[in-house]
Amino acid sequence: MTTRIEKRFAELKDEGRAALVTFVMSGDPDYETSIAVIKALPKAGADVIELGMPFTDPMADGPSIQAAGVRALKGGQTLKKTLQMVREFRKGEANTPIVLMGYYNPIYIYGVDKFLVDAKEAGVDGLIVVDLPPEEDEELCLPALKAGLNFIRLATPTTDDKRLPAVLNNTSGFVYYVSITGITGSAAPDAAKVSAAVARIKRHTKLPVAVGFGVKNADSARAIAAGADGVVVGSALIDALKKTLDGNGKGGPATVKAVADLVADIASGVKAARKVAAE
């Protein structure tokens, strides 16, 4: 059976453009604001939503995402509440794929079998679990695939051709290519390097490749989208959200608008990329 993720990437391939994959932390800064942000994403231009599962020791995250997780946990966010958010989102949106992204520990504590049943029932489409290598596929990856969820793996510039087949084995939905070097400030991403990295991965798989590479605005999104099947934006959205919080760390309508406006801007860049390529 085709998953929502597979269907969405196939549709966008037919349209001749990359997907915009948006990451937000569930429960940041509080449940009500967070669910309002998530509900606003598809209309703003998000094609796939990555929803962070906050964790106390997020070793692989940058400072913005770490801070978002701290805010969410302080606001009382739990994995159970994250699944409730997905359930609530699904009442009004049946087509936009949702990927839960985070660490294995909260899932392990919740109970793997129970989590997979509850996640599927809530309307989750895929998982990215950053601290489970391919050698531990039996822990979660294989049960997730059996439950009908995509299991999306990360590749980096240090994932060489010898390691890549192991990373791609049992990966489904899409491959998430993360640049370790990243981009700061307003520097434009090196589109040639990104295209070369995507091409290298594609020599080993037919899966779409989405790239997270310091995308901050329409221009950087456009540069990445020209050479990838998807563009991932996360830290920039979280930074935009943070700027709207009041002295007590609370959000409101301005928070939702700030995130949605930035998503719309970045989406315009993603859509422009393939139009230029087609001309």
Q: Which residues are catalytic?
A: 50, 61
- Please, which residues have CB within 8 angstroms of residue 133's CB and are 6 or more apart in sequence? none
- Please, which residues have CB within 8 angstroms of residue 126's CB and are 6 or more apart in sequence? 3, 5, 97, 98, 99, 100, 149, 150, 151, 152, 172, 173
C-alpha to C-alpha distance for 186 and 119, rounded to whole angstroms: 38
3-state DSSP assignment of residue 150: strand
β-strand pairing of 126-129 with 98-102: parallel
C-alpha to C-alpha distance for 128 and 31, rounded to whole angstroms: 22
Burial of 162 (0-12, 13-18, 19+ CB in 10 A): exposed
